[in-house]
Structure 1
Amino acid sequence: MQKLEYQGRYRPAYAGDLSELISDVQFTPYGVNHPPMDTDWGYLHTFKLDQLDVKGWFHVALTPVMSQILDERSIYGGDLKAFNHYHYLELVKSQDGRIYLRLMFRTIIGGYNLMEVREDELIPMLEQAVKNAGVGVQS
């Protein structure tokens, strides 16, 4: 993971692969009670993806690299046990079609882009989580 020069909260703060921040993804369809997540898991909010037409919740396993980033960038520190209380992750798509992983704050309005995400890395990761949940993927 490479730290980039600060250019504002809408520009990526880091460059690297999504797998450096997220080690696993789980999907729970709407209407199914999802089990409590371990403390190193966080909620991932997604926009509507044309390639993946599903309705439900995505949760992601956060890596130690994410903990280091939080320790540097978050006023709440890098303790992943507190992640869900203070933060969530969001995938945002810009007008030019680029996808960013954004760190959002629960207790204050706002967030910032962590990194640009490649679709060829993101979509298979989400599709696999949906398949693992036993839900058909509409491609």
Structure 2
Amino acid sequence: MARLLIVGGFLAAIFWVFSIVDCAVQPPTRHRGVPKAAWIAIVVFIPVIGGILWFTLGRRRANDNGGAIRIIAPDDDPQFLRSISKSEQDARIRRLEEELAKLEDETDDGTAPDGTAPDTRP
């Protein structure tokens, strides 16, 4: 029985230290409810229960943006992709294919086959 209490106390101490460190290293934007210093105080002064409260109530997950607007890149946004007309897509593909053909036609010394310098515009 004493061995079980020692192991339980050791595990509780490890959890307590882990909770303190996790609470302290999280950026302030990942703390819910009260400020970061208050969460650290809760976890320090209420050892195991404070850690449980921190992980269940206080710690905001990385993908939980707290109701903020999530910014999506245009090529990942289905609504934006639907808004591009088929002709715009075809024109862009043609332009990219032409640029690729120009790059393939360049020789190793950086000049085009006709001896002119390639177009270096982006």
Larger fraction in strand: 1
Same-fold call, TM cutoff 0.5: no
Larger fraction in helix: 2
State which structure, 1 or 2, has the greater radius of gyration over its C-alpha atoms.
2
User: TM-score if structure 2 supplies the norm length?
Assistant: 0.24
